[in-house]
Amino acid sequence: MYLIAAGSAVKCADWPGGVCKEAYGEITCGPPAPPNWISGYSNNSNSNNRSSSIYGVWAVQNGRWNGILRMQGNSGRMILANSAGAAVEQRMTLKVNPEGGYILDGEVLVWYVRGRYNADNFYVERFSKKSISVKNCDDAGKCNSVNLVYLGK
């Protein structure tokens, strides 16, 4: 598995060909990435490999914005709203982060807010079977913590 958790610890292999394993509460990852691996790597967004995909519906808690994320493998849709009545819909794409882990990369499709809404980019920080904690840095560079809670399929 590329990304693994043991207790409160989470580790990611440093490249998609790496593997992480947990034994006796310790997480080890390897083998090391070969030189220049990224130049020959292409992410297959149609992959059915569930270890690099997200499936199901997630509640999103993103500061004053709350909503729903529905993922089907490597892509999905997220709708967020706030108490002032503003709303935004984004396409979310799961990508490998070259620095390790994964990114849910957002693309704004429709927004009902004053001014422009900057697309969200979720960097996975830690996860469990029922929730994922991510750091969101939007396209404008504004960052905050986000919690995704699994609701089911």
Domains in the chain: boundaries? 1-34, 49-153
Specify whether the CB–CB gap between 118 and 94 falls below 8 A. Answer: no
Give the model's pLDDT for residue 61.
87
Burial (CB count within 10 angstroms: exposed 0-12, middle 13-18, buried 19+), residue 51: exposed
Is the confidence at residue 82, as pLDDT, over 90?
Answer: no
Instruction: Indicate yes or no: pTM above 0.85.
Output: no
Residue found under tokens 């990435």? 33
Mean pLDDT lowest among 26-30, 72-76, 98-102, 128-132? 128-132
Is the confidence at residue 125, as pLDDT, over 60?
Answer: yes
Give the model's pLDDT for residue 52.
60
| Class of domain 49-153 (CATH, top level) | mainly beta
Quickly state the pLDDT bin for 37 (edges 50, 70, 90): low
